[in-house]
Structure 1
């Protein structure tokens, strides 16, 4: 069973060749922005903004790579 809903992904500017790095996602745009800005500041990155994705499913929301900062074990 697949549940589809809009999600919002927060991005930061990076100095590598890709240019933008996803920081986090949330189902609420304002919360994605708040958390994204805090994460960017914490990692000394420049917050870029929010990208909305309509009809995202579980697979899309769990696609951050294992080496993404959010998935690194503390």
Structure 2
């Protein structure tokens, strides 16, 4: 499997002390743009973008079904 760098956008977690992952992208500025939009849509505070070196593309291609961003909006 190909290893590459991905960039993960993070926001401050409103329920706990810490951070929550919003999205990832192979382009740092795109991860930041999407992360910023997601924080605005969900009323969160954007924290920044971090890099994940040598990520396994297949393993990191999506968030799990139980990730809070995948929850149905009510």
TM-score, normalization by structure 2: 0.83
Deviation per CA, 1:6-62, whole angstroms, max 9, x where unpaired? Answer: 000000001222511100000000000000000000000000000101110021x14
Unaligned runs of 5+ in 1: none
Name the stretch that deviates more: 16-25 or 37-46: 16-25
Equivalenced residues, count: 72
Which of structure 1's runs of 4+ aligned residues deviate more than 6 A?
Answer: none
TM-score, normalization by structure 1: 0.83
- Greater share of helix: 1
CA contact (8 A) 1:24 1:70 kept: no
